[in-house]
Structure 1
Amino acid sequence: MIQKNPFKFFLLTLLLIALDQGVKLAVHFYMAPGFAGQVKLVGDWFKLHYVLNPGMAFGMQLGHEYGKLLLSIFRLFAMVGIGYYLVHLAHRGAPDGLLWAMSMILAGAVGNVIDSTFYGVFLNNAPYGSPTPWFHGQVIDMIFVDVWEGFIPEWVPVWGGQYYSTPIFNIADSCIFIGVCLILFFQRRFFGEQHAEDSLLPISGPDATEASVLPTPEFIDETQENEPRTDESDDNSSDDSQPVTPESVLPDEPKRTE
């Protein structure tokens, strides 16, 4: 496992956040909202269309009095969690593709958090009746892929009988969508490589070291077990040796002659 520096992945995140915020501010100051300021980019199906989104990605909303506040708080926690997970993956040596995808998701989360937190104060676009402009800012959407619009049939649950068109989104939404799709499409490759790298890690701990030095039964010489043991004490017991005394150790003194 080779640890990776997450700096370059956070650098991509910062670049995408700057791009997202730059486009949103340009749309806010230089385009008129709605169809009056719509700009066609490619034919009649790809357009710039300035709308304010009080809810989640692609215009979805939480139908509650404090739904917007809860959504903003959730985005803050999600932003911190994604950033921590990106650092964790980098330190574990995750594949670059997975880290690039996570950096895109993080950029999208941060981009929409900035809108929800500050736009109600600095751009004064909080919905009418909001208890506070903080955390109630509306997200600026502008990318309109106009491939379908009309009434949904009555038999469709929840949305039946209502008029809808393809959603209008922004660069932050696109980053989240592309990042999630990359992880889904290449999950076998991303997490398969991570699992393979983890399986190559050296085993650590007292069990591994003890297993490397302890003998195993198959290496014991069976012939040594069958050989009779001889006890040196038995051999010594058969000797007719006298007890050792100082006289027996000292050499004999020469005899004096007168």
Structure 2
Amino acid sequence: MSLRKAYFLIFILLLVDQVSKIYVKTNFVLGEEVTVFNWFKIHFIENEGMAWGTKLPGEYGKLFLTVFRIFAVAGIGYWLWDSVRNHKSSNYLIVAIALIFAGALGNIIDSVFYGVIFNESYQQLAVMFSEEPYGTWFHGQVVDMFYFPIIKDFPMPEWVPFIGGRPFTFFNAIFNVADVAISTGVGILIVFNKKAFHKGDA
């Protein structure tokens, strides 16, 4: 795969990711939910930290996380360029790197810019390019919206370790297009490991 095709894939993913986030951000109040199917809902939340809502402690935790992501994406971008230009790597590897790069960059855009572009979403619809932004540069929150509660509030037997006796929901994560891209890219590297790291066309 050429760099041009990889860049086009990244562009399309970023476009879909940002359009979906901006739409949800400007049309949903924080916490609002719309049921598409019983097993698929659009549920607007904002993620302040890493995956699964994990946060870094301290005043500069969010800033450190955002800066770290920027350096990580720069490294992934170089990996993509190097794989295409110097090693003629398999298409499996190039597509996987492009997916991971697009997803990581999509969430970085939220972290870097959304805090100064949008106002607060709590109990109101956010306005783009607001005069009263909710945050500062590098302190934006990542917009998540896809929720697939395939099994919801299933009563787990008492004997099940850790979660026994409590209602169980599968799949409980709420995510976005960027997260899907990253997960798919990582999945390709795991499932098609031998093909991904085989030199030459796949």
Matched, 1:167 2:164: no
Alignment of 1:5-44 (within 5 A): 5-34=2-31, 37-42=32-37, 44=38
Asked whether the equivalents of residues 29 and 121 of structure 2 are also in contact (C-alpha less than 8 Å), the reply is: no
Q: 2:90 maps to which residue? A: 95
- Confirm whether residue 134 of structure 1 aligns to residue 140 of structure 2: no
Query: Cα distance 1:56–1:148, how it changes in 2: closer, same or farther (>3 A)?
Result: farther
Aligned to 2:119: 124
User: Rg larger in 1 or in 2?
Assistant: 1
Cα offset, 1:32, TM superposition: 2.5
The correspondence of residues 41-60 of structure 1 with structure 2, limited to 5 A, is: 41-42=36-37, 44-60=38-54
Q: Once the two structures are aligned, what percentage of the paired residues are identical?
A: 39
Instruction: Considering fraction of residues, name the structure with more helix.
Output: 1
Change (3 A) 1:135 1:163: farther
Amino acid at match of 2:61: G
Distance 1:56 1:162, change over 3 A: farther
Q: Between Structure 1 and Structure 2, how many residues are aligned?
A: 182
- The Cα shift of 1:9 comes to 0.2
Partner of 2:56: 62
In the alignment, is the contact (CA less than 8 A) between 1:52 and 1:139 conserved in 2?
Answer: yes
Unpaired segments ≥5 residues, structure 2: 123-134
Q: Secondary structure at the match of 2:76?
A: helix
Instruction: Name the amino acid aligned to 2:193.
Output: Q
**What displacement does 1:61 show?**
2.0
8 A contact 2:115–2:138 mirrored in 1: yes
Q: Which has the higher strand share?
A: 2
Distance 1:126 1:62 in 2: 22
Shift in Å, 1:175: 0.5
Deviations 1:118-165 (A, max 9, x none): 0000013599xxxx6111101110000113566999x74xx9999985
Q: CA deviation at 1:64?
A: 3.1
**Distance change >3 Å, CA 61–CA 148, structure 1 → 2:** farther
- 1:106 paired residue number: 101
Partners in 1 of 2:91 and 2:151 — Cα distance? 37
Give yes or no for the alignment of 1:147 onto 2:150. Answer: yes
TM-score, reference length from structure 2: 0.80
SS in 1 for 2:145: strand
Question: In 2, distance between residues paired with 1:61 and 1:28?
Answer: 21
Match for residue 181 of structure 1?
187
AA aligned to 1:171 is V
Distance 1:10 1:124, change over 3 A: same
Shift of the 98–146 alpha-carbon distance from structure 1 to 2, 3 Å rule, reads same
One-letter code aligned to 1:136: H
Partner residue, 2:80: 86
| 1:83–1:103 CA distance, 2 compared to 1 (3 A) | same
Task: Letter of the 2:13 partner, please give it.
Answer: L
Cα distance change of structure 1 residues 125 and 102 upon mapping to structure 2, 3 Å threshold? farther
* Inter-CA distance 122–60: structure 2 relative to 1 (3 Å threshold): same
Q: Could you say what the CA RMSD is over the residues aligned between the two structures, in angstroms?
A: 2.8
